[in-house]
């Protein structure tokens, strides 16, 4: 074990416009689209809570007030449920709420990229390490992705990035890391390359949207020049931080669904639904029939 500061806070950048899901996201934040019966953001917050996170920091934008409302008491709804003796529903709702005072919301006034969204959380995070969870990505595994990352962080300290394997010929589509010394549950990261040219990737391990970062990243992002897409890129900031601090890769071996894309969103709904004992009996045969019709 190495000496390290405890991980207590997590940042959720939820200011994105969700243009890939228009027209639905014209009125509904993409993070509030439901996978079965829970918003996407709830799955990501649950993953953070499982990992021991105590303070949830949401970086929001205009039109995202419904996210703040979701993580609050809805008095009229709860009174109605009480009057109708809907105790199971009341228990469900209360179990989803963060503890009072453990959720903070700050605004990203301009869409200047992920690095800028992270920087907007600087005063709430302060001088502590923090987790960063991209809210489009929801994951399924026996052990939550962030929980596994925390276990690795407790051994290595420094910065930890979750990675998965892709087909080598697909590596040019992702942010790819170089593989160094093997660690229990992962490895030392030797380099990071954003969408390398075909045939030049240092490995087939791609960054999947989960990070544990040290607070020194904030000072780097504050003066970070705009990069790809004329945005402040987190990867550029991490490359600078890597010159003075170690990075480890946590090898996540579960399933990841990109719910910011239509195909990932549909697959997530099917995957989570068939694991539900109250839903599978009524959808299993229709799903099989749909698949048979594809042949």
Asked whether residue 230 carries a pLDDT value surpassing 70, the answer given is no
Tens digits of residue pLDDT in 104-161: 999 998 888 899 999 999 999 999 999 999 999 999 998 999 999 999 999 999 999 9
Asked whether residue 164 carries a pLDDT value surpassing 90, the answer given is yes
Strand 55-60 and strand 103-107: the pairing is parallel
Tens digits of residue pLDDT in 177-201: 999 999 988 999 999 988 888 888 8
Q: How far apart are CA 98 and CA 74, in angstroms?
A: 14
Find the length of the chain: 295
Q: Span 76-87, mean pLDDT?
A: 89
Cis peptide before 23 (omega within 30 of 0): yes
pLDDT at 95: 83
With cut-offs at 50, 70 and 90, classify the pLDDT of residue 17.
confident
Q: What percent of the chain has pLDDT over 90?
A: 66
Q: How far apart are CA 217 and CA 138, in angstroms?
A: 25
pLDDT at 241: 95
DSSP 201: -
Asked whether residue 263 carries a pLDDT value surpassing 60, the answer given is yes
Q: What percent of the chain has pLDDT over 70?
A: 98
Secondary structure class of 271 (helix, strand, coil): helix
Q: Span 264-287, mean pLDDT?
A: 94
* Sheet strands (E) in the chain: 9-13, 34-35, 38-39, 55-60, 103-107, 130-133, 137-140, 159-165, 175-183, 186-194, 205-213, 247-251, 255-258
Asked whether residue 49 carries a pLDDT value surpassing 70, the answer given is yes
Which range of 51-60, 68-77, 187-196, 227-236 scores highest in mean pLDDT? It is 51-60
Bigger pLDDT: 177 or 228?
177
pLDDT at 227: 67
pLDDT at 229: 65
Tens digits of residue pLDDT in 242-261: 999 999 999 999 999 999 89
Q: Name the pTM for this structure.
A: 0.92
In this structure, the dihedral spanned by the alpha carbons of residues 282, 287, 288 and 291, taken in order and rounded to 10 degrees, is: 170
pLDDT at 98: 84
Half-sphere exposure of 177 (CA within 13 A, CB side): 27
């Amino acid at each position: 074990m190495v000496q390290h500061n405890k991980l207590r806070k997590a940042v959720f950048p939820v200011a994105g416009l969700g243009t890939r899901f228009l027209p639905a996201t014209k009125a509904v934040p993409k993070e509030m689209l439901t996978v079965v019966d829970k918003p996407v953001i709830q799955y990501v917050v649950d993953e953070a809570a499982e990992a021991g996170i105590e303070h949830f920091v949401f970086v929001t934008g205009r039109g995202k007030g419904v996210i703040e409302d979701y993580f609050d008491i809805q008095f009229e709804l709860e009174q109605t449920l009480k009057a109708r003796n809907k105790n199971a529903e009341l228990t469900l709702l209360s179990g989803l709420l963060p503890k009072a005072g453990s959720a903070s919301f700050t605004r990203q006034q301009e869409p200047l990229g992920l690095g800028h969204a992270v920087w907007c959380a600087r005063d709430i995070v302060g001088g502590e390490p923090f987790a960063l969870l991209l809210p489009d990505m929801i994951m399924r595994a026996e052990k939550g992705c962030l929980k596994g990352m925390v276990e690795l962080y407790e051994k290595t300290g420094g910065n930890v990035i979750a990675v998965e394997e892709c087909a080598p010929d697909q590596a040019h589509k992702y942010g790819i890391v170089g593989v160094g010394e093997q660690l229990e549950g992962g490895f030392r990261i030797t380099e990071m390359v954003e969408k390398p040219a075909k045939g030049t990737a240092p490995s087939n391990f791609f960054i999947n949207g989960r990070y544990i970062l040290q607070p020194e990243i904030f000072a780097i992002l504050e003066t970070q020049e705009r990069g790809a897409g004329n945005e402040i890129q987190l990867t550029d900031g991490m490359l600078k931080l890597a010159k003075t601090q170690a990075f480890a890769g946590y090898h996540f071996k579960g399933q990841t669904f990109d719910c910011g894309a239509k195909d990932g969103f549909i697959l997530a709904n099917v995957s989570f639904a068939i694991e539900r004992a109250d839903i599978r009996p009524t959808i299993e045969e229709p799903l099989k029939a749909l698949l048979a019709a594809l042949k």
